[in-house]
């Protein structure tokens, strides 16, 4: 998976250099970075997911995969 926050920042910089500032891209990149889990948060989720049994475990694993 590509780093969408990085891509947004690069596009925003190119647009600004071309005279078309796109503050929305910077704001979106900031929000993506704010919502990302830290390494320790991901580890805690992994440990918790191992303790859950049943359908909820699958849901937690899919959420964890989406946080990468």
Task: Name the DSSP class of 37.
Answer: P
Q: Residue with structure tokens 């190119």?
A: 14
Cα dihedral 50→2→9→37 (10° resolution) = 0
Mean pLDDT of 32-54: 84
Q: Is this structure's pTM higher than 0.75?
A: no
Mean pLDDT of 19-43: 82
Other residues' Cβ atoms within 10 Å of the Cβ of residue 10? 13
- 40 pLDDT tier (thresholds 50, 70, 90): very high
User: How much is the pLDDT for 6?
Assistant: 82
* Res. 13: pLDDT tops 80: yes
Enter the tokens of residue 21: 């500032």
Contact status, residue 64 vs residue 46, Cβ threshold 8 Å: yes
Residue count of the chain, please give it.
68
Mean pLDDT of 6-10: 82
């Amino acid at each position: 998976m590509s780093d969408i926050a990085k891509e947004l920042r690069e596009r925003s910089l190119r647009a600004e250099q071309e005279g078309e500032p796109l503050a929305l891209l910077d704001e979106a990149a900031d929000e993506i970075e704010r919502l990302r889990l830290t390494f320790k948060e991901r580890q805690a989720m992994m440990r918790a997911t191992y303790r859950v049994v049943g359908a909820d475990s699958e849901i937690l694993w899919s959420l964890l995969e989406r946080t990468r």
